């Protein structure tokens, strides 16, 4: 795998409005470029490529809108958007869907930026972080599109990449990259920097899902719906890497659940392993979309009156479970809502009942329709508490990896045949989370219960599609979604990519 130089960018982006050959041959050679380029700035740009996850209309829409956790109902003339959200929910998308195109391009841009760092004499620490980020973006490419693109060293960057790794090759590349660089990463510190614990987490995630990617038709790269055969060795690797995170002593389950996502979450949280950094008021990413995309126009703060969760997800919780609803202290005087799920009458900061635009009570309901909802239909979700000091430029760091997820991965790996360690059981691991969230202990924990607990704990964090595929529930029928075919286990390669790269083959069924 070391032979791969993974780089992708469209020729249009590389050339812009200049003559690329003239620039390369007459103005700048590779040695001059290496001497004059700030490698640290390139690494910063690679980290900033993760901002594609913060917004509502990019990779997040593929991860969540296609699952049973989130839907985008059309409300009169609002939010129809030519059916793009509805098509994601019902698994009826086409290769021209703009959400799919933007996610594909964004992930490949991240791979390009990460690899670019390696071309300009990075320090060993910079190189390790760049390769981690490349593995991070490559993991999501394998998971969503079933491929990783690569080049032989020295290839002409103006030509399409010559190497296409399929799903099994792609996940093995991700694993090998992480295993090669992990010891060169920082041992701890800033959650916005790729550390050894971040690599342990991504390795655990890769090994946990490896059976899914190995279940691939070698002639077509077609995905299988499962059920999957989880290798005991892979499950023991999940346990090994989650144990390394636990043994580091850097993390604890957070007593205040929503501190993991607060405007000062990296300072507040004891759980966050890897985040995208957002400095309040200083050109942050689009994390404000996390509340704007769901809140009504008359909520405080206001919103775009868009996305909702399904009643089946809301009903998974017991009364008193903090994750379903909790009001942080800093909400007082700023809003009358709670963090978590919003259902029923909504209030202003002074306690006044709010109304919709027609003067009716602003009372959110469980029921909604994908095609014919009104203003109040659907349960709203506030996973990231608003930054009331700077709503348009918030400080909430976007969370990619979290300690509670590591514990749930270990519990699942034990249930799938891995060897339990350190006295941990699926029950003890799951209940350690539930106790702090205000939920009662579970008795015998089954795989079905693990999937439900992952929904309760990790809702709207971008893992639901991945989880449902691994548990073979992704293609099932649920709220206004019919049972779907194995085609929809992968997203299509966008037409523009196929037209510019003859080495690509469209995923089966598209």
Q: Would you place residue 21 in the very low, low, confident or very high pLDDT band (cuts 50, 70, 90)?
A: very low
| Number of domains present in the structure of the chain | 3
Quick one: 157 and 41 in the same domain?
A: yes
Segment among 9-23, 105-119, 446-460, 490-504 with least mean pLDDT: 9-23
pLDDT per residue as tens digits for the range 243-261: 999 999 999 999 999 999 9
Residues 316 and 464 in one domain: no
Q: Are residues 153 and 191 in the same domain?
A: no
Closest alpha carbon to 272 in 179, 113, 398, 187: 398
The answer to whether the beta carbons of residues 257 and 210 sit under 8 Å apart is no
**Alpha-carbon torsion 396, 401, 403, 407, what sign?**
positive
Same-domain status, 235 and 319: no
**325 three-class SS:** strand
Q: Average pLDDT of 188-216?
A: 97
169 and 112 within one domain:
yes
Long-range contacts of 302-305 (CB under 8 A, 24+ apart): 305/75, 305/78, 305/79, 305/375
Same domain, 163 and 226: no
Q: What is the CATH number of the domain that holds 124?
A: 1.25.40.390
Whether the pTM exceeds 0.75: the reply is yes
Looking at residue 37, its pLDDT comes to 77
Is 483 among the domain residues? no
Query: pLDDT grade, residue 170 (50/70/90)?
Result: very high
Chain-wide mean pLDDT for the chain?
92
pLDDT band at 450 (very low <50, low <70, confident <90, very high): very high
* pLDDT at 453 exceeding the cut of 70: yes
| Domain boundary, last residue among 373, 396, 419 | 396
pLDDT of res. 18: 25
Tell me, yes or no, whether 456 lies in a domain: yes
In this prediction, residue 162 carries a pLDDT of 80
pLDDT > 90: percent of the chain:
88
Residue indicated by tokens 């506030």: 382
Read off the tokens for 244.
């390394």
Given CA atoms 487, 488, 493, 496 in this order, what sign does their dihedral have?
positive
Q: What is the pLDDT of residue 15?
A: 28
The verdict on whether omega for the bond into residue 227 sits within 30 degrees of 0, i.e. cis, is yes
Report the range of poorest mean pLDDT among 29-38, 68-77, 111-120, 387-396: 29-38
Does residue 485 lie within any of the structural domains? Answer: no
Domain that holds residue 72: 1-76+101-181+493-510
In a domain, 168, yes or no: yes
pLDDT at position 23 over 70? no
pLDDT for 118: 93
Give the phi and the psi of residue 108 in degrees, each rounded to 5. -70, -35
Beta-carbon contacts of 22 under 8 Å, excluding residues fewer than 6 positions away, are: none
Same domain, yes or no: 201 and 253: yes
Domain identity same for 198 and 175: no
Supply the pLDDT for residue 163: 83
**β partners of residue 431:** none
DSSP type of residue 27: I
**Which tokens is 239 given?**
């346990």
**Structural domain ending residue among the three candidates 335, 362, 396:** 396
């Amino acid at each position: 795998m070391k032979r791969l130089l993974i780089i992708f960018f469209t020729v249009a982006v590389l050339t812009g409005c200049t003559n690329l050959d003239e620039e390369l041959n007459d103005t700048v050679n590779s040695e001059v470029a290496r001497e004059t380029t700030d490698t640290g700035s390139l690494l910063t740009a690679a980290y900033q490529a993760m901002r594609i996850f913060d917004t509502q209309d990019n990779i997040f829409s593929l991860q969540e809108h296609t699952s049973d956790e989130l839907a985008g109902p059309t409300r009169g003339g609002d939010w129809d958007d030519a059916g793009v959200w509805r098509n994601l929910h019902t698994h009826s998308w086409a290769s021209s869907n703009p959400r799919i195109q933007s996610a594909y391009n964004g992930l490949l841009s991240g791979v390009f930026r990460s690899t670019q760092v390696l071309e300009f004499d990075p320090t060993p620490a910079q190189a390790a972080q760049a390769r981690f980020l490349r593995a991070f973006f490559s993991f999501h490419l394998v998971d969503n599109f079933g491929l990783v693109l690569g080049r032989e060293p020295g290839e002409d960057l103006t030509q399409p990449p010559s190497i296409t790794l399929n799903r099994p090759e792609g996940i093995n590349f991700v694993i090998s990259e992480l295993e090669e660089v992990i010891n060169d990463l920082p041992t701890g510190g800033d959650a916005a920097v790729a550390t050894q614990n971040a690599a342990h987490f991504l390795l655990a995630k890769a090994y946990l899902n490896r059976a899914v990617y190995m279940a691939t038709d070698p002639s077509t790269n077609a995905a299988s719906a499962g059920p999957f055969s989880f290798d005991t060795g892979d499950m023991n690797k999940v346990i090994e890497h989650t144990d390394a995170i636990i043994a580091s002593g850097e993390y604890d389950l957070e007593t205040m659940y929503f501190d993991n996502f607060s405007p000062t979450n990296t300072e507040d949280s004891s759980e966050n392993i890897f985040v995208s950094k957002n400095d309040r008021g200083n050109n942050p990413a689009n994390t404000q979309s996390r509340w704007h995309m769901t809140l009504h126009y008359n909520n405080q703060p206001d919103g775009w009156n868009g996305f909702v969760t399904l009643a089946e997800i809301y009903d998974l919780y017991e009364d008193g479970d903090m994750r379903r609803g909790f009001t942080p202290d800093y909400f007082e005087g700023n809003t009358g809502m709670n963090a978590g799920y919003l259902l029923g009458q909504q209030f202003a900061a002074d306690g006044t009942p709010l109304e919709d635009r027609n003067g009716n009570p602003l009372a959110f309901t469980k029921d909604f329709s994908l095609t014919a909802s009104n203003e109040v239909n659907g349960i709203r979700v506030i996973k990231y508490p608003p930054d009331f000091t700077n709503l348009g430029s918030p400080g909430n760091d976007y969370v990619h990896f979290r300690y509670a997820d590591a514990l749930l991965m270990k519990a699942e790996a034990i249930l799938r045949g891995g060897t339990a360690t350190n006295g941990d059981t699926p029950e003890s691991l799951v209940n350690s989370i539930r106790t702090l969230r205000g939920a009662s202990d579970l008795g015998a924990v089954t795989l079905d219960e693990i999937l439900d607990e992952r929904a309760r704990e990790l809702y709207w964090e971008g893992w639901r599609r991945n989880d449902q595929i691994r548990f073979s529930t992704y293609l099932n029928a649920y709220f206004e979604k019919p049972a779907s075919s194995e085609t929809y286990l992968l997203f299509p390669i966008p037409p523009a990519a196929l037209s510019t790269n003859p080495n690509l083959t469209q995923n089966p069924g598209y």
